[in-house]
Each structure stands twice: as structure tokens, then as C-alpha cells.
Amino acid sequence: MDIDWVHYLKGLLKPLAAITVVLMAVALSYVQKLGLGKEMLYSITRAFLQLSVIGFVLQFIFNQNNGGWIFGAYLFMVSIAAYTAGQRAKHVPHGKYIAGASILTGTSVTMFLLLVLNVFPFTPMYIVPLAGMMVGSSMTVTGVTMRRLRDDVRMQKSLVETALALGATPRQATLQQVKRALILALSPILDNAKTVGLISLPGAMTGLMMGGASPSEAIQLQLAVMNMQMGATTVSSIMSTYLCWPTIFSKAYQLEAKVFNAE
């Protein structure tokens, strides 16, 4: 499928016109002396460039209809997500690798089940966008889980060390911290599921309806997407806690000082 450049360039007029509201936000930031104006302009410019480029890349992948391109795009997204989540939990040793393994596990298991159940066909047009949604959600949840677990253990270091001294395993000594980290990370996903349709209409559903799909068809797809995201994020976040334990505890079941001494 060739690109209609005239139609494409005309289509850019709308997002360019919408920059007006960004300029309003920049002006408000300046008036309130928030110092966020440059970052707002940088962020929206970067988003514009990234989405413009990815549009051509996705069109190319969709036209190939080849499983290799699907896996390549998926692994690329997981790699970027692992790096981003690892940066969020930078004090966790090997955080990027833990995040990558957790995101890969959660999203691949979820996608495999959906394909086995024939919820979605194995085509680039379905799998690549859906994988992106799962990877994005899992990235956020995994990063929050790892950072919160490390911070909670650091704040309650004496309690954890007392439990270890009494013979508890790392899992037993940090059970409450793990639960708090998981609850905090997963709460936004759960809250969104409770209020979907009442407060906001999700992006996938809105996009389908704006593209001409009926509300019932859009709702069916959105429900599948929400279930998919909840499954992937839960597996990824729990997986990250299991992978964090060996990095924050020594083989002698002691807290690694270098992990908790850094601010």
C-alpha cells in the first residue's frame, strides 16, 4: 500500500492546530513559574516525531504480514520498556534486566493465552498494537513495583533485619513490603477498570468509534484489551518481586548494603 503524501500532509494540520493548547499550558507554566515550559515543548515535539516515524514503520510491518516482523517489533518494545522501567528503579541492581524479564514473561504469557483462545488473530495489525498496550502498562507497573519494594525495605530495614535474624527467609521478611508494592503498582489498573465508561472512554474504544466502528464492537474490543492488560501487568509485577529478592539479599540472607545506602 503506497502512502498518499497529500492526504498525509493534510492530516497533519489537525495535530499541528492542536498544539495551541500546548502553548496555553506553556504560558500557564511560565505565569506560575513552574519551569516546565521547555520540557513541555520538548516532550510534545519528541512525541510528534516519534509517532510520525512509527506510523511509517507500522505501515511497513502491516504490509509484510510476516511473523518475524511481529516478534521483532515486540522485542524492540520490550527492550525500550525494560530500559525505562529500569531507570525508574535505578537503585535495584540489574533493574533493566529484571524489568525486561518480567515484562517479557507477563506479556508473552498473556498474549499466548489470547492466541490459543482465538481472541485475536495472529496478524501484525492486531498483535503489534495490542502488544504495545500490554508492554506499556507492564512497564509502568514493573517500574513502580521495583522502586517501591526497594524504598519500603530501606525505610523498614531494622524490621526486615530483625526478621532475618530470627530465621525468616527473604520472602518471609519482606512479605508486607512486597504486598504494599504490588498494591500500589496495580491500584491504577484496578481503579481504571472500575470507572471505565463512567469517567472516561478508553483510547482503543474511542479510536474505533471515531474510525466508524459501532459502539458495541468498540466495547467488545476494549473489554478484551482491559482483561489483557490486567493479566499482563499482574504477572509482570509479581515476577519482578521474585527477581528482585536475589539482588537485594546476599546468599547469607543479609540485606545488600550497597542497595540501600544509596539515596
Using CA atoms, how far apart are residues 173 and 176, in angstroms rounded to an integer?
8
Copy the grid coordinates of residue 50: 516519534
138 and 41 housed in the same domain: no
124 and 204 housed in the same domain: yes
213 and 88 housed in the same domain: yes
- Looking at per-residue pLDDT, the higher value among 3 and 196 belongs to 196
179 and 49 housed in the same domain: no
Considering 64, 87, 114, which residue would you say is the last residue of a domain? 64
Using CA atoms, how far apart are residues 254 and 91, in angstroms rounded to an integer?
17
* Three-class DSSP category at 192: helix
Cell 512486597 found at? 178
Instruction: Give pTM, 2 decimals.
Output: 0.81
123 and 23 housed in the same domain: no
pLDDT, average across residues 235-261: 87
pLDDT given for residue 1 in this prediction: 46
39 and 97 housed in the same domain: no
51 and 85 housed in the same domain: no
pLDDT at 260 over 80: no
**pLDDT by residue (tens digit) across 213-240?**
777 777 888 888 889 999 999 999 999 9
| CA angle centred on 137, ends 215 and 121, rounded to 5° | 55
> 85 near 95, Cβ under 8 Å?
yes
Instruction: Show the domain range for 9.
Output: 1-64
Considering 49, 64, 79, which residue would you say is the last residue of a domain? 64
141 and 239 housed in the same domain: yes
> 92 near 146, Cβ under 8 Å?
yes
16 and 43 housed in the same domain: yes
167 and 40 housed in the same domain: no
Considering 64, 91, 106, which residue would you say is the last residue of a domain? 64
**pLDDT by residue (tens digit) across 34-54?**
888 899 999 988 888 888 788
Residue-level length of the chain:
263
28 and 115 housed in the same domain: no
Counting beta carbons within 10 angstroms of the beta carbon of residue 126, is it exposed (0 to 12), middle (13 to 18) or buried (19 or more)? middle
Provide the number of structural domains found in the chain: 2
pLDDT at 255 over 50: yes
77 and 183 housed in the same domain: yes
